[in-house]
Chains A and B, each alone.
Chain A
Amino acid sequence: MADADSDDGEDIFVSNSNPVSVSRGVSQPDRVTEEPSDLFSEEEEAASSTAAKANGVHSDDDNDLFADANVELSTDKSGSSARKEPSGPRHASSFTPSPAAMQPTSLEQLEEEEAKDSFDVDVAVTNPEKVGDGMNAYVAYKVSTRTSLPMFRSKVFSVRRRFSDFLGLYEKLSVKQSLHGCIIPPPPEKSVVGMTKVKVGMDDPSSVEFVERRRAALERYLQRVVSHPSLLQDPDVREFLEREDLPRAVNTQALSGAGFLKMINKASDAVNKMTIKMNESDTWFEDKFQEVENEEQQLRKLHVVVDSLVNHRKELCGNTAVFAKSLAMLGNSEDNTALSRALSQLAEVEDKMEQLHQEQAASDFFIFAELLGDYIRLLGAVRGCFDQRMRAWQRWQEAQSTLQKKREAEAKLLWANKPDKLQQAKEEITEWEARVTQYERDFDRIGMTVRKEVLRFEKEKAKDFKSQIIKYLEAMLQSQQRLIKFWEAFLPEAKAIA
C-alpha cells in the first residue's frame, strides 16, 4: 500500500496537498491565486482518493511546499549560543538579527528588524504512510527541513517521525527549567478513535480526513516550534529534525488520556491551592492572565459555533444533492422540451453548487475550526507559563522562609554555644542564601520571559488570525468566481425556453 519513499532525486518540496498553505505560515504573496481551480479542490481529491494517493502523495505540482511556510523569527536571541540565558534588559548588545551580522540594537530597531528579517528555517510534514499491520500499526510522517542556519548539519534534509515522537519532543521541552516561562507550543491531541480506524484501514474517507488533519496539525506544531527563537536553539529540537533514528518516546503518559488542556488545568489547580498568595507590585501579570482566560472562553464559544457551521454545511451539501436529483426528475416529466432541458441544466448547476458547498465546508473546517482548536490549546500553554512564574515565586518564598528558619536556628545555637553545630548551621545558611538569590533571579527571569513571550504571542496570534481570515475570504472569492461561471452557462438555457 505504501509507496516506497525515496529522498534522493525527488524534490521533497513539491506540494502534496494544499492544506500546507492553511498552516500557520505568515501570508506570502498569493500562491493561491495562481491556480484557477479552487484552493481546496485538490485537498478534497486527496481526502477522497485512494490510499495510494493519500500515502506518499507525489503530486506533479511544482508549487513550493514551503512557499507559505516561511516563518519569521524574532531576533532577540543570540544566534550562535545554545545557552538559554535570558536576554536581560532588552537593550543588551548581543543580539544577532541575521546569521551574518552582529549589531547592537535598540528596542525600536529590534522591533523593526523583527518585522523584516526571516530566518530560513522551513519545516514541512508530509507523506503519511502506514507502517506495520493490525493494532501495532502506526503512521510515519516525513519531516523535511530546509535551512541556511550553520548549526544544522546540512541545508536540506528529512527524517521520518511518528506521532509519539512529536509528543516526546513536547515532553522534553516542557520540563526544561531553562525554558520555563516560554510558551511552548502544544502538540495535537491524541485520538484513540481516529487512530484505531486508521490502524484498521486507511482507505475510507474519514480515515483519510483524519490523517490529513493530523498531518496538517503536526506541521503547524513544528512550524511554531522552529519559529520560536529559544526553542530553535534547543538541542532536542535539532535532534528531532536531524537525527535519523530517534529513540522511542516513552514519557507520553502525561499527554495520553488526559489531553493537553486537562494537564494544564491540573497543574493550574495545584498552583491555586498553594497557600502563599502573591502580592503583585505590577498588575500587568494579573491583568494579562485574566485577559488570557477570557479569550480562551471566547474562543471555546466560537469553536462551538464553527462546529455548528461545519455541520450545517455538510447538511446543506446533502440537501443540495437531493434537491438536484429531484429537479432532474421534474425536468424529465416536463413535456415542454426547452423547459425540460433547462430544468436538467439547473439540476446540474445545483449539483455543482453542492460541490462548492463541500469545498466551503472543508474551508470552514480546516481554516477556522483548526485555527481555533490550536489557539485554545496555545492559550492553555500561555496560562501554563504564568503558572510556572507563580511556582517560581513560591519556591523563592519558601526558600526565604527556610533561610529565615535557618537563621533562627543559628541564633539559637549561638545562644546555646554549640560551636560544632554552629559551623554546620553557618554552612546551611550560606547555602540557602545562595538559593534565595538564585530563586529570586529565576523568578525575575521567568517574569521577563513571560512578558516577552506574551507580547510575541499576541503579535503572532494577530498575524495568524488575519492570515487565516484572508485565506478564508480567498477561498470564498474563488467560489464566487466559479458560481459566476455556472450561472453564466445556465442563463442562455433559461432564455431559450419557449
Chain B
Amino acid sequence: LSAPAPRAVNVDLQTDAMLQVDISDALSERDKVKFTVHTKSTLPNFKQNEFSVVRQHEEFIWLHDSFVENEEYAGYIIPPAPPRPDFDASREKLQKLGEGEGSMTKEEFTKMKQELEAEYLAIFKKTVAMHEVFLCRVAAHPVLRKDLNFHVFLEYNQDLSVRGKNKKEKLEDFFKNVVKSADGVLVAGVKDVDDFFEHEKTFLLEYHNRVKDASAKSDRMIRSHKNAADDINRIASSLYTLGTQDSTDLCKYEQMLSLDFTRSCLHKIEARIAADEDLKLADLLKYYLRESQAAKDLLYRRSRALVDYENANKALDKARAKNRDVLQAETSQQLCCHKFEKISESAKQELIDFKTRRVAAFRKNLVELAELELKHAKGNLQLLQGCLGILKGNT
C-alpha cells in the first residue's frame, strides 16, 4: 500500500539557504513503513541540491532523541516525535472480515472490505503526515536545521543502523522518565524571579492537562461515532438485501434503485461526519498535546539549569568561605550561569513562537473544520434531497 505524495510544506525562513523537506512516498510493508524523505536544498554542505533517502520510524525516533540529549539544544522546544505507525487495529479488523467472509453476502463483504481499506489508507496517510510535520518543523527551526545528525538523516542513503530500543534500553528510559518527573516536581516548586517564565509555567501546566483531557474525550466521541456509522451501514445493506429479494416484481427495478441510492447515501453521510472530526479536531488536539509537553520539557530544563546555577552559587560561596577549590567552584559556577542564561534567552523566544504557532494552527484547523463540515453538510443535504425525490417519486 503506497500513499500518493502528500502536499509538501515549503519551509524557507532564512535568507541564506533554502531547505525544503517532504515525504514524497511511503510504502507499508507487513510490519514496517518505509518513508521516502525527499530534500531540496541550497545549503553548501549537501553534495547535491535534490535527493531522497528511505527512512523508517525508528530512525525518526533516533533523530528526535539525539536532539533531546544534546545539551546545546536545551533551550529549544524540540519538535515532538511522530507517533509510531499503528495499523494493528485496522489489520485485526481486516483479518476478522476475512474470517467472517462465509457468513455474509458477497455484497456486504465487498462493501466492508472497501471501508476497511479506506480506513487503513486514512491511518496510513495520517502517519505519513505526522512524520512529515516533524521533519518540516526541524527544517524550519533556525538552529536545529543545521544539526549534523539531521543532515545525515536527510542525506545518508544507507541504513542508519538504528535499531529500535531493546528491553534493557526501554527499561532505562522508563527509569529516566521516573527520575525526571520526580525531579520535575521538585524543580517546579522553585519560584522563578522572572514573571514571564513564572506565568508560562502556570499556564503550560494547566493548558497541557486540559489538552490531554480534550484529546482523550475527542477520541472517545469519534469512536462512538464510527460505531454508529458502522451500524448504519449494516442496516442500510440489510434493508437493501431485504427490499430487493421480495418476490413481487411490481416495481422491483425502481425499488432496487431507490434502496441502493438510500444505502449509499446513508453510508456516505455517516462516514463523512466521523472522518471530518477526526481529521481536524482530534489530530490538532493530539499534536498540541505533544507540543505542549515539549514546551513543558523546555521549562523543566531551564528550571533544572536555574537550580544548578543557584547550587553552584552556593557552592562558590562555601568554597570562598573555606578558601578551598575556589577556582573549580568558580569555573563550575560560570558554566552553570552561562548555561542558564543561554537557555533563558532562547526559551523566551521559543515560548513566544510556540504561542504564535499554536494560535495560527488552531485558527487554520478550526476554519478548515468549519468549512469542511459545511461542505459535507451541504453535500449531504443534496444527497438526501435527491434520495427522497427518488423514493417519493415512484409511489
Q: Which of B188-196, B299-307, B362-370 contacts A (4 or more CB under 8 A)?
A: B362-370
Q: Are A458 and B248 in contact (CB under 8 A)?
A: yes
Task: List chain A residues, Cβ under 8 A from B68.
Answer: none
B381, A302: Cβ atoms closer than 8 Å: no
Contact of A494 among B211, B223, B366 (CB under 8 A): B366
* With A326-B213, A329-B213, A480-B377: A462-B246 Cβ-Cβ less than 8 Å: yes
Q: Which of chain B's residues have a CB closer than 8 A to the CB of A458? A: 246-248
Q: Closest residue to B228 on the A side, CB-wise?
A: A312
In the bound complex, what is the Cα–Cα distance between A309 and B355 (angstroms)? 42
Partner of A470, one of B255, B374, B388: B388
Assess whether B374 is in contact with A484, with CB atoms less than 8 Å apart. yes
Dominant secondary structure of chain A at its interface with chain B: helix
List, in ascending order, chain A residues with CB within 8 A of B387's CB: 473
Query: Does A291 sit within 8 A of B, measured CB to CB?
Result: yes
Q: Is A483 an interface residue (CB 8 A)?
A: yes
Question: A308 in the interface, Cβ–Cβ < 8 Å?
Answer: yes
Q: B338-382 vs A: 1/0 string, CB under 8 Å?
A: 000000000000000001001100110011011101100110110
Q: Encode B194-228 as 1/0 by CB contact (under 8 A) with A.
A: 00000000010011001101100110110111011
In the complex, A476 Cα to B388 Cα: how many Å?
11
- Contacts A335-B203, A458-B248 known; A319 to B377 CB distance under 8 Å? no
Query: A333-B203, A339-B359, A487-B373 in contact; A477/B213 too (CB < 8 A)?
Result: no
Cα A343 to Cα B369 with chains together (Å): 13
**Do B207 and A334 touch (CB < 8 A)?**
yes
- Quick check: A491 and B370 within 8 Å, CB to CB? yes
- Asked if A305 meets B366 with Cβ closer than 8 Å, knowing A327-B214, A329-B210, A458-B248, the reply is no
CA distance A282 to B296 in the complex (A): 82
Q: Which residues of A contact B238 (CB under 8 A)?
A: 298, 301-302, 305
The answer to whether A330 touches B378, judged by C-beta atoms less than 8 angstroms apart, is no
Q: Is B262 an interface residue (CB 8 A)?
A: yes
Inter-chain contact A330/B370, CB cutoff 8 Å: no
Are A470 and B391 closer than 8 Å at their CB atoms?
yes
**Are A313 and B207 in touch, CB under 8 angstroms?**
no
Give complex CA distance A329, B213 in Å. 9
Whether A473 lies near B373 (C-beta < 8 A) is no
* Among B50-58, B72-80, B135-143, B229-237, the stretch in contact with A: B229-237
User: Could you say which residues of chain A place their CB within 8 Å of the CB of B378?
Assistant: 484
Do A487 and B218 touch across chains, with their CB atoms under 8 A apart?
no
Contact status B239-A469, CB under 8 Å: yes
Task: Let me know if A491 and B371 touch, CB within 8 A.
Answer: yes
Check B243 for interface membership: any CB of A closer than 8 A. yes
CB proximity to B under 8 Å, residues A1-38: 27
Neighbouring A residues of B358 by C-beta, 8 Å: 336
- Chain A 297-332 interface 0/1 with B at a Cβ cutoff of 8 Å (1 = within): 011011001101100110110011011001101101
Is B366 a contact partner of A484 (Cβ separation < 8 A)?
Answer: no
- In the bound complex, what is the Cα–Cα distance between A215 and B363 (angstroms)? 49
Q: How far is the CA of A306 from the CA of B238 in the complex (A)?
A: 11
B255 contacts across to A, CB distance below 8 A = 462
- Are A333 and B228 CB-contacts (below 8 A) given A301-B238, A477-B384? no
B168: min CB distance to chain A, Å: 38
CA distance A62 to B248 in the complex (A): 39
A320 touches B388 (CB 8 A): no
Give which listed residue, B210, B225, B231, contacts A308 with CB less than 8 A: B231
B239 cross-chain contacts in A, Cβ below 8 A? 302, 465, 469
Interfacial residues of chain B within 256-291, with CB under 8 A of chain A in the complex: 262, 265, 269
CA distance A266 to B198 in the complex (A): 78
Nearest chain-A residue to B205 (Cβ)?
A333
Q: A306, A326, A335, A459: which contacts B235 (Cβ < 8 A)?
A: A306
Please give the distance in Å from B49's CB to the nearest CB on chain A: 38
- CB atoms of A330 and B391 under 8 A apart: no
Q: Which of the residues A316, A322, A473 comes within 8 Å of B388, measured between beta carbons?
A: A473
Query: Which B residues lie within 8 Å of A327 (CB)?
Result: 214
Partner of B220, one of A298, A323, A459, A487: A323
Mask: chain B, 383-395; 1 = CB below 8 Å from A; 0 = not: 0110110011001
A308's nearest neighbour on chain B, judged by CB, is: B231
CB-based contact A466/B370 at 8 Å: no
Q: Given the complex of chains A and B, what is the CA–CA distance between A487 and B369 in angstroms?
A: 9
Alpha-carbon gap, A379 to B158, bound state (A):
69
Docked-complex contact B392 and A27, CB < 8 angstroms: yes
A280 within 8 A of B: no
Give complex CA distance A343, B231 in Å.
31
- A481 near B: Cβ within 8 Å? yes
In the bound complex, how far is the Cα of B366 from the Cα of A336, in angstroms? 15
Given contacts A312-B227, A491-B371, contact A473 B210 (CB under 8 A): no
Q: Which residue of B lies closest to A299 (CB)?
A: B242
Interface string of A462-478 (1 = CB under 8 A from B): 10011001100110110
The 9 closest A-B pairs by CB, nearest first: A309-B231, A316-B224, A497-B363, A494-B366, A319-B221, A312-B228, A323-B217, A312-B227, A491-B370
Q: What are 19 A-B pairs at a CB distance below 8 A?
A: A27-B395, A301-B238, A302-B239, A305-B235, A306-B231, A309-B228, A316-B227, A319-B224, A326-B210, A330-B214, A335-B355, A339-B363, A343-B362, A465-B239, A469-B239, A473-B262, A483-B377, A484-B378, A494-B370
Residues of B at the A interface (CB closer than 8 Å) are 203, 206-207, 210-211, 213-214, 217-218, 220-221, 223-225, 227-228, 231-232, 234-235, 238-239, 241-243, 246-248, 255, 262, 265, 269, 355, 358-359, 362-363, 366-367, 369-371, 373-374, 377-378, 380-381, 384-385, 387-388, 391-392, 395
